[in-house]
């Protein structure tokens, strides 16, 4: 089974390629992603104590201060290529340094009338004809009678961007994906140098569609929220890779700009203090953080999911069984949500789409699998709870999600609570 999920370098990029992409020539040619190594070869992330002078420290190692991650108290030092590990070792023993770590790379993890919701099936790139089976499983139809969302609620998709169209490309795309921009104008911000916030991978658009595709509009798929303000925060490039510093900045920016919910379908097998600090910052700003548990198929912790301020989400299939690829463990995974053969939006075929060109997924709509797909089902629920107005704090929203989840027999060791139930959380 093909699957896609956002994982960090130690994990595989979990999409199985097709032998021949079933689409036309891409809008532009790009080289397939290569092995960049585990971290940026000339950058170190450092949190200095108040009396320290970052510039002096940087010069002592033949480097310079490249940037400061605003609000997080972390500096990015440029150091000689290949010296990262030695610089970290030296700084870690200095009393004026709180922590030093490499700038690691992160990689990708009412009944509406939308036809692919539960009426017409959609022929996917895997030659499967499926509908959005997940909405019935999580009891969303009854929940939508309580609330279908509110455009004042902001959900940040910290990912590869959202397909909103790119006016800076040589042949401008003025449209973006019709089933997203047709009902709203997403707020866009990019932390990838030289790139707009437009999606050129496909993953972020798929995640965004589950949370807030235009719904009850007679076309395409249904989103968890019929009204919502999506925020596309691009921290991963066309190949699905991004730096720790970029992801941390994206989380901080989303929190500073009013995100009620932050979806993080990405992760790492190694704890990173900069990432933990960014997650804590957003939580303290009042955001609910929903994090994919990872696609290792085992119990090893992934981050940010394992951090206390994240709702860690595993993946289930149509039979409420844990997906074979899903990471699990009741000591750190909180809830589960549908994550197998999830039909959602993919970039239209106007702009370059990595998933379409390299792996043969279809433009417009296709089905992906992974905890990257289960997380937005929980983020969408969090947004509905905010929209209802019965909760005024992120602690309350999180409790509503976790304490109303459906326990699934035989899964007690996989996660703390159960598979989310939209109606139970809202009624």
Task: Show me where the domains of the chain are located.
Answer: 39-104, 115-426
What is the tens place of the pLDDT at every residue in 271-314? 999 999 999 999 999 999 999 999 999 999 999 999 999 999 99
Confidence at residue 268, expressed as pLDDT on a 0 to 100 scale: 87
Predicted pLDDT of residue 258: 98
**CB neighbourhood size of 6 (10 A):** 34
Nearest to 77 by CA among 61, 93, 96: 61
Please indicate whether residue 221 or residue 31 has the higher confidence score (pLDDT): 221
DSSP string for residues in 142-204: HHHTT--EEEEEEEEEEES-B----TTSSS------HHHHTT---EEEE-STT--SB-SSSHH
Question: How many angstroms separate the CA atoms of 4 and 21, rounded?
Answer: 16
Domain covering 39-104: architecture: 2-Layer Sandwich (3.30)
Active-site residue, 372 included:
yes
Average pLDDT over residues 102-131: 73
Task: Choose the catalytic residue: 203, 239, 344, 366.
Answer: 203
Choosing from 114, 159, 199, 348, the catalytic residue is 159
Q: Is 159 a catalytic residue?
A: yes
The pLDDT assigned to 68 comes to 96
How far is it, in rounded angstroms, from Cα 2 to Cα 361? 10
Determine the pLDDT at residue 116.
64
Summarize pLDDT for 229-268 with one digit per residue, the tens: 999 999 999 989 899 999 999 999 999 999 999 999 998 8
Q: 413 pLDDT band (50/70/90 cuts)?
A: very high
Of the listed 296, 344, 372, 374, which one is catalytic?
372
Give the CATH superfamily of 115-426: Peptidase S8/S53 domain (3.40.50.200)
The arithmetic mean of pLDDT across residues 128-139, rounded, is 89
Q: Specify the pTM.
A: 0.89
Q: Is 170 a catalytic residue?
A: no
* pLDDT for res 81: 94
The pLDDT, as a whole number, for residue 271 is: 93
Q: Does the pLDDT value for residue 9 go beyond 50? A: no
6 pLDDT band (50/70/90 cuts)?
very low
| Lowest mean per-residue pLDDT among 164-173, 215-224, 391-400 | 164-173
The pLDDT value recorded for residue 352 is 79
User: Could you give the CA distance from residue 316 to residue 325 in angstroms, rounded to a whole number?
Assistant: 10
């Amino acid at each position: 089974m093909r699957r896609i999920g956002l994982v960090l370098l130690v994990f595989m990029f979990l999409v199985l390629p097709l032998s021949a992409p079933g689409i036309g020539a891409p809008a532009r040619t790009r080289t397939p992603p290569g092995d960049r190594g585990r971290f940026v070869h000339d950058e170190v992330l450092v949190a200095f104590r108040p009396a320290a002078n970052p510039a002096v420290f940087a010069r002592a190692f033949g480097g310079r201060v490249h940037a400061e991650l605003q609000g997080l108290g972390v500096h990015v030092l440029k150091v000689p290529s290949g010296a990262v590990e030695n610089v970290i070792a030296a700084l870690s023993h200095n009393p004026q340094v709180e922590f030093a770590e490499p700038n690691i790379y992160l990689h990708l993890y009412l009944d509406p009338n939308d036809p692919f919701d539960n009426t017409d099936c959609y022929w996917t790139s895997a030659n499967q004809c499926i509908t959005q089976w997940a909405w019935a499983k999580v009891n969303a139809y009854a929940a939508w009678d309580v609330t279908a969302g509110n455009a004042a609620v902001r959900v940040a998709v910290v990912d590869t961007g959202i397909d909103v169209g790119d006016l800076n490309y040589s042949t401008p795309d003025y449209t973006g994906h019709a089933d997203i921009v047709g009902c709203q104008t997403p707020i866009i911000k990019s932390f990838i140098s030289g790139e707009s916030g437009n999606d050129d991978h496909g993953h972020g658009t798929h995640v965004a569609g589950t949370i807030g595709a235009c719904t009850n509009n007679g076309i395409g798929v249904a989103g968890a929220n019929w009204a919502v303000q999506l925020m596309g925060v691009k921290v991963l490039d066309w190949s699905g890779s991004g730096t720790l510093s970029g992801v941390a900045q994206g989380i901080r920016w989303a929190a500073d700009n009013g995100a009620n919910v932050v979806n993080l379908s990405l992760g790492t097998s190694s704890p990173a203090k900069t990432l933990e600090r960014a997650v804590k910052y957003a939580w303290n700003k009042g955001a609910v953080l929903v994090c994919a548990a990872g696609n290792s198929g085992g119990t090893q912790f992934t981050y940010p999911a394992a951090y206390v301020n994240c709702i860690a989400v595993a993946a289930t299939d149509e039979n409420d069984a844990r997906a074979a690829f899903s990471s699990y463990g009741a000591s750190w995974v909180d809830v589960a949500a549908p994550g197998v053969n999830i039909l959602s939006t993919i970039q239209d075929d106007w702009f370059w789409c990595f998933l379409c060109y390299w792996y043969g997924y279809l433009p417009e709509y296709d089905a992906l699998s992974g905890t990257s797909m289960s997380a937005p089902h929980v983020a969408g629920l969090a947004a509905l709870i905010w929209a209802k107005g019965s909760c005024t704090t992120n602690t309350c929203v999180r409790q509503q999600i976790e304490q109303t989840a459906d326990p699934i027999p035989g899964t007690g060791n996989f996660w703390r609570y159960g598979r989310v139930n939209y109606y139970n959380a809202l009624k």
